[in-house]
Structure 1
Amino acid sequence: MMPSSSSAGGDHKHRSVLLESAVDYLVGSPAGRYIDATFGRGGHSRLILSRLDKAGRLLAIDKDPEAVQVGHSLAAEDGRFEIAHGSFAELDRELAARDWEQVDGVLMDLGVSSPQLDDASRGFSFLREGPLDMRMNPQQPPSAADWLNTADEKDIADVIWRFGEERFSRRIARAVVTRREEAPLRTTRELAELVAAAVPKKDKHKHPATRTFQGIRIFINRELEDLEAGLNAAVESLAPGGRLVVISFHSLEDRLVKRFMRDLARGPQLPRGLPVTAEQTETPFRLVSKALKAESEEISDNVRARSAVMRVLEKRPGNTDKGERP
């Protein structure tokens, strides 16, 4: 794996998971147009650029202002590259602003990045003392602390259950409300200790606050809503032969991606006996491979790779319903 540049805010490194495999599946034309929808610190973007010729173009997108700052440095080095600050849910708007009707590939490397986790000031990790923030874009309210200190107990429980899949979500929500009546929650350590005390049964392989932090982070950043919108925008933008490559890191993301790609690849499920031909039900999309995971060597080098799942969808080369790109 190839480490990227350090973040603008410090020495926090990010190693892109499934780096070579993702770019191998993504880049089919050296002169093509590609989207790195989750720039991070540029690991995938740099490798994509190395596969493009002088006519190739790469647009990156990221919610995180620190990531965008790194992207501006890369854009200054390479005129084939540019970066936009925002969510990949707005992919269609970014393409329209550049008169890009179609692209040859879109890459999404989902979830929180290593620099975000490792920087205590961002508030993503229960292992590091820091402000209870969790926002990928710190300019976008509310922070995790603001929400936890004002939300209804039921809403807190629902978020932790739905997005964190935490079976003790009601106990945790009750503990949050009881605690904030005394003093507002402000730090990651306060929340982690509160959850650990509220959970009656511990998983010896997982910190008791893991699922709670995941659920709150996903909710605060609208990760699943943005993912659904981004997937739809991505497939709409694909040229014939173009591919959508998505790397997920937890079951909620992967289930959404799996179902989305499966439904597009198999097309409408019609009742038996309808007078339709195979051509009439043929879908313009196909699954390129089964779900792919990191090899043991990569996992031993980067423990965060162990939960990564990569899926690839292709728009069939013969489908020209939107016309060939000039």
Structure 2
Amino acid sequence: MESKSHALIAGVFAIGLAIMAGLLALWLGKDEIQRTPYTIATPLKVSGLNIQAAVRYKGIKVGKVTDIDFDTKVPGQLILNLDIVSDTPITQSTYATLGYQGVTGIAYIELDDDGSKPAAIVKDARLGALIPLRPGLLQEVEKHGLAILGQTEELSKRLNTLLDPNNQQSLMNAVNQIGRTAAAWEALPAKLDPALNALPQTLQQARDSALAFKQFSDNAKATSSNLNNLINNLQGENGSINRLSKNVEELSTSLQYETLPAMHGLIQDARGTLRSIHRTSDNFNERPQSLLFGAKPATPGPGEAGFNPSGTNKQ
């Protein structure tokens, strides 16, 4: 009977200990941090992402993935449910990408924000607050890798075409042409040697020509200077041109005020003399005897002796 009582006490103690351990575990595991549910709807692959995967905002852990499921309304689309700390600054410009931890391949959700739309997210009627998922590094590498593979395939086809036997013959001909061109280039210096040897003499002649031209230029400059001095002397205030102009002006004044009036008086005297000669000639023609008896006396005028008022005067 005593052994049964000990077993009962031990069983009650074990049950009480288990209950206390469960209550302690519930107390320790109680999470008092407020979280907000968000949703990601995407047709992209989410390889390596599991439930309870971390959600990071700019590298800081702010939540976890609570569910991954297919969208029953949109074929080919995945629905990711997230629980994120409520004070995380999620806006309309916040987007998600897949990140991978080291070499393990375990994926997590990386949130970032480009700041283009700082307003709060507007909840969708069916899916709630939606965060878009953009292609991550591996998706971009995969996409560009496919493009690179396509380009590599195209390059391989072109190389095969280039290495066709017909093209090989063309390439060999081109190589031979290049060889002949190189040989011609090698012979070119020997042909250029005479010209290069004559180059110093040509340069010296050019230098002498330049010196002669400089001397000619200096002489022309001196000649121009002398010509300018001559022109200045001729055109100066006491220059030959001004003196000649003054002499011509003085000669013109002398002709105008002295010589011409003297010549005019001389002409007048000559004219009077000619009139006198003309009258004498007329008298001689009328009375040749006047050469012996003298000129006919003038007719007496009024008051003079021999005046006849009737017009007949005594001779």
TM-score by length of 1: 0.18
Q: Indicate the structure with greater helix content.
A: 2
Higher-Rg structure is: 2
Q: TM-score, normalised by structure 2?
A: 0.18
